[in-house]
Structure 1
Amino acid sequence: MTERTRTTRWRRMLPTTARTRIIGWVLLLVMAALGIVTLATWLLLKSSINARMDEALRVEVEEFGELSAPGVNPRTGAPFAGIDEVIHEAIAYNIARPNEKFLGYVDGVYRTQSRQEPGATEVLAKDQAFRQRVASVTEPTEGRYEHPEAGEVRYLAIPVSLDGDDSRGVIVAAYLGDAEREAADNAARMMLLVGSVTVVLAAGAAWLLAGRILHPLNDVVDTARTITDTDMSQRIPMRRGGERDEINELVATLNGMLDRIEAGVAAQRRFIDDAGHELRTPITIVRGHLEVLDPADPEDITATVALVDDELTRMNRMVTDLLVLAHSEQPTFLQPEYTDVAVLTEDAFVKLSRLAERNFVLETTANVTAVLDPQRITQALVALADNASRFTEPGGRIGIGSQLSGGWLRFWVSDSGPGVSPEDQARIFDRFARGSGGRQVGEGAGLGLSIVRAIAVAHGGDVLLDSVQGRGATFTITIPAVLEDRWPAS
């Protein structure tokens, strides 16, 4: 088995759901924290107990010295008769604490010990190895001894002498270290026990919390499963209370994305339906005339060819407009450059004034240099002027102008036509939409104003319509004024 195969099998054994991974990490953190706290507490308790035992041994040495230094028995007031009496009185005078023991030796032979807990300290009195270590010391000796039954023994052996007595005595103060540290061990075991229960409770709490936290994600999955290409109305429910937390922010963002997708799909569906309808119409017209064409009639052939050419021209224009709209969503749609807005407006006016037999008027120009795509702006103005000429009588007034106002560049085309009805104003910029008041409604495909809006939006602006029915209309392209002195040098 290769290393890669073993790694793959190991990964498959690991929890795969987000809920189990959350619980696993929570438990890992809780256990790590529990282990660190328990270990640190146990070490601190042991260190404190060891320091207390060492300090107690030093205090005992001082007490032994104070007792034997005068050479007088404090209980009888008479001088000590010998080393045996000094050792017996010293051990009897000092009260041993739990796990503490005093032992006395004379000339290397064990003589006496403190009376507390005799069963626990007999092991020291009878231990020959310990006796050989401490019974014959000639100077204060501190050390540790590992007893086979009692464990670690911390001791301090003090030699004792008395004038007039050649015997050599030793008093030993000893602590059973393992027994003294049993309290710290018990505390650590209790912490581990309580910690184990805590881990179990934490696992249960993590399971519930993970389920609550991940519930919106389950809603996302359930909602995504219900969305089809024919029904995109389902939305992810918000959490109760409407708190602005990360989960609700995620839900709101996803719902907004679904709204945009639904709107985009609906627009695409309408676009496909409308485009299909608009393209089928000239095809149907051409096919109908070709089916009834009389090959023997030159006039019928000439009229049919003219009609077919006209319909193909209209189809070509419609396809071109569709390609422009599709290209408007690409980054390369615009080619911005430094442009003299006044010159751009005047050039556009010259071109538009020959568009139809109308009274074209150049109202005003913005004398600034700005960064924009002059060809696309001209294209938009042409579309607006063409639209205005369709809805005005011969000799009607069409005004063209540009202006800088409040950080925005405005290009407009106004006309003296019948205006736009309120119901048409709500949809006039939609693709394939046509106004209801035009004189030559059938000539266009209803894409001109959509292209104008696409050009304005690509520049970061929009198209505004100001119209009163019966008194004309004004279409205004507004784009941010990126002036020459604000454009970064290349």
Structure 2
Amino acid sequence: MPPTPDPPPHRWRLARARSRIIGWVLLLVFLALGVVTLVTWRLLVQATDHRMEEALRFEVDEFAGHTATGINPRTGQAFRTVDEVIGEAIAYNVARPNEKFLGYVDGVYRTQSRQEPGTPEVLADDPAFAALVAGVDVPRTGSYESPAAGEVHYLAIPVTLVGDPARGVIVAAYLADAERAAANTAAQLMLGVGGVTVLGAGAAAWLVAGRILRPLRDVAETARTITDTDLSRRIPDAEDSDELGELVRTVNAMLDRVESGVAAQRRFADDAGHELRTPITIVRGHLEVLDPNDPEDVRATVALVDDELGRMNRMVSDLLLLARSEQPSFLHVEAVDVAALTADVVEKVEQLGDREWVLETAARFDARLDPQRITQAVVALADNACRHTGPGDRIALGSQLTGGRLRFWVSDSGAGVAAADRDRIFERFSRGSTARRSEGAGLGLSIVRAIAVAHGGQVLLDSVPGRGSTFTVEIPAVEVS
């Protein structure tokens, strides 16, 4: 028979965690049950002791009332002897369970009260108890440890009668341990029922804890399946609003950020490796055929190398900018006067080329945005429009607040964008099929889109081939409070 495989380490750790949780809970509940049972038992015992003391005092009062007149209520004649007084007093009272009345004359046991069924005979034949109470000459209360009945609470009252030299004692006694048996039984029943209930609750808690800790198992299982090549796994979200549900959502959000960061890193590495290979090849090829003895060839090669290095520098800067666009620190949002920002952008782009620059409209609105990034995006769109138009052509800019959205646009009168190119031109290192030859690396529109997305918006394109294009950066209008 093949050996049973060991459980996965993460399952064993979670099982241990569940065991510790249930163990501590059961320990605390058992301690609480013990404290409650102890307090309840002590209160019951105190109530029992108080009842016994009250009963003994009542018996004293009753005996005093019975003998105060000195007349035997049964015969109507005066008491003649101490023995008669004790006999009548004890015969008059019927002892309750665990209660006894005993009479002694001159230190010798004479009689005891009638007993209800079930009360043991333990004190009448106890010489130690007789020696303790039979000779008292003043009322005495106390406790006595009976070998047969345990603790006994007693009240001994001396009895004398004028004309009779005998000395008697009436004793009212309670078997305290027997009387407390009900309290002991109640405490034992509490412990037994409470213990069984706690164990049952512990078993139910084990199942409930398993369900509660399930998100942690999902976290562990998901973490084990994530690799450097596959970051797409996510923890199942039960949509709970408790702390574990919040933990799952937080971890999933963290995994989203990690995946986004790794993807950005991979795109940067792929794009850099792909695009930098061409200028490096050009530089290496010209250096290999360089004639160091030809000054003109050296000057031309140095100029070409410098141009390619400059293009590489711009390309790396743009790639780094795109990589940073996916980080939270990419934007520095502040309160901005949109009309003033629009006017400043128009003033800056007028230096890009000999074009008819027109400010169509400016939104009179204060919004929260990153003015530098928005300026960068609009300038990039204006530069793109300038490169696709000729001297004297019209390029219009503006901003407008519409339906809770803030729009910045650049409209040109160039050749327009073909329908097949409208999505592709926003990809990295892509150019439209009608694009003129430029020094750019094809990253300008990608940067514009990254800035819009970072603001929670998008880039819109409206173009008719032969009649120009309008690029619009649309972002949510976050009003300054």
TM-score (norm 1): 0.80
Could you tell me whether the CA contact under 8 Å between 2:157 and 2:170 is conserved in 1?
Answer: yes
How far has the Cα of 1:461 moved from its partner? Answer: 5.8
Select 1:360's aligned residue among 334, 357, 368: 357
Q: Does the C-alpha gap of structure 1 residues 236 and 371 become closer, same or farther in structure 2, counting only changes over 3 Å?
A: closer
Could you tell me whether the CA contact under 8 Å between 1:22 and 1:206 is conserved in 2?
Answer: no
The aligned residue for residue 97 of structure 1 is 96
Select 1:269's aligned residue among 266, 269, 278: 266
How far has the Cα of 1:344 moved from its partner? Answer: 5.0
* Matched AA of 2:268: F
Query: Structure 1: which 5+ runs fail to align?
Result: 1-14
How far has the Cα of 1:425 moved from its partner? Answer: 5.1
Structure 1 residue 443 corresponds to structure 2 residue 428? no
Structure 1 residue 191 corresponds to structure 2 residue 185? no
Could you tell me whether the CA contact under 8 Å between 1:156 and 1:172 is conserved in 2?
Answer: yes
The aligned residue for residue 281 of structure 2 is 284
The aligned residue for residue 85 of structure 1 is 84
* Matched AA of 2:397: I
The aligned residue for residue 171 of structure 2 is 172
For residues 146-193 of structure 1, what are the alpha-carbon distances to aligned partners after superposition, in whole Å with 9 as ceiling and x for unaligned? 445533221222333445434332211100111211222222223323
Distance in 2 between residues matched to 1:297 and 1:153, nearest whole Å: 130
Q: Does the C-alpha gap of structure 1 residues 161 and 362 become closer, same or farther in structure 2, counting only changes over 3 Å?
A: same
Q: Percent identity?
A: 63
Q: Does the C-alpha gap of structure 1 residues 420 and 345 become closer, same or farther in structure 2, counting only changes over 3 Å?
A: same
Select 1:309's aligned residue among 306, 311, 316: 306
Q: How many residues align?
A: 466
Could you tell me whether the CA contact under 8 Å between 1:461 and 1:480 is conserved in 2?
Answer: no
Distance in 2 between residues matched to 1:179 and 1:75, nearest whole Å: 34
Indicate the SS of the match to 1:24. helix
How far has the Cα of 1:47 moved from its partner? Answer: 1.8
* Matched AA of 2:72: N
* Matched AA of 1:449: L
Indicate the SS of the match to 1:80. coil
Distance in 1 between residues matched to 2:341 and 2:234, nearest whole Å: 48
Q: Does the C-alpha gap of structure 1 residues 299 and 35 become closer, same or farther in structure 2, counting only changes over 3 Å?
A: same
Q: Does the C-alpha gap of structure 1 residues 444 and 118 become closer, same or farther in structure 2, counting only changes over 3 Å?
A: closer
The aligned residue for residue 55 of structure 1 is 54
Distance in 2 between residues matched to 1:235 and 1:377, nearest whole Å: 34
Q: Does the C-alpha gap of structure 1 residues 71 and 224 become closer, same or farther in structure 2, counting only changes over 3 Å?
A: same
Query: RMSD value over aligned CA atoms?
Result: 3.8
The aligned residue for residue 349 of structure 1 is 346
Distance in 1 between residues matched to 2:109 and 2:131, nearest whole Å: 10
Q: Does the C-alpha gap of structure 1 residues 81 and 429 become closer, same or farther in structure 2, counting only changes over 3 Å?
A: farther
* Matched AA of 1:210: A
For residues 387-431 of structure 1, what are the alpha-carbon distances to aligned partners after superposition, in whole Å with 9 as ceiling and x for unaligned? 22233344432112345678876543222334456665556555x
Distance in 1 between residues matched to 2:252 and 2:369, nearest whole Å: 35
Q: Does the C-alpha gap of structure 1 residues 377 and 96 become closer, same or farther in structure 2, counting only changes over 3 Å?
A: same
Distance in 2 between residues matched to 1:336 and 1:247, nearest whole Å: 33
The aligned residue for residue 434 of structure 1 is 430
Could you tell me whether the CA contact under 8 Å between 1:434 and 1:441 is conserved in 2?
Answer: no
Query: Structure 2: which 5+ runs fail to align?
Result: 1-13
Q: Does the C-alpha gap of structure 1 residues 223 and 416 become closer, same or farther in structure 2, counting only changes over 3 Å?
A: same
The aligned residue for residue 416 of structure 1 is 413
Could you tell me whether the CA contact under 8 Å between 1:113 and 1:125 is conserved in 2?
Answer: no
The aligned residue for residue 379 of structure 1 is 376
Distance in 2 between residues matched to 1:370 and 1:191, nearest whole Å: 69
Could you tell me whether the CA contact under 8 Å between 1:154 and 1:176 is conserved in 2?
Answer: yes
Could you tell me whether the CA contact under 8 Å between 1:404 and 1:481 is conserved in 2?
Answer: no
Indicate the SS of the match to 1:468. strand
The 5-angstrom pairing of residues 223-234 of structure 1 reads: 223-234=222-233
* Matched AA of 2:271: D
TM-score (norm 2): 0.81
Distance in 2 between residues matched to 1:48 and 1:159, nearest whole Å: 28
* Matched AA of 1:126: D
The aligned residue for residue 390 of structure 1 is 387
Select 1:320's aligned residue among 317, 321, 327: 317
Distance in 1 between residues matched to 2:199 and 2:187, nearest whole Å: 18
The 5-angstrom pairing of residues 23-34 of structure 1 reads: 23-34=22-33
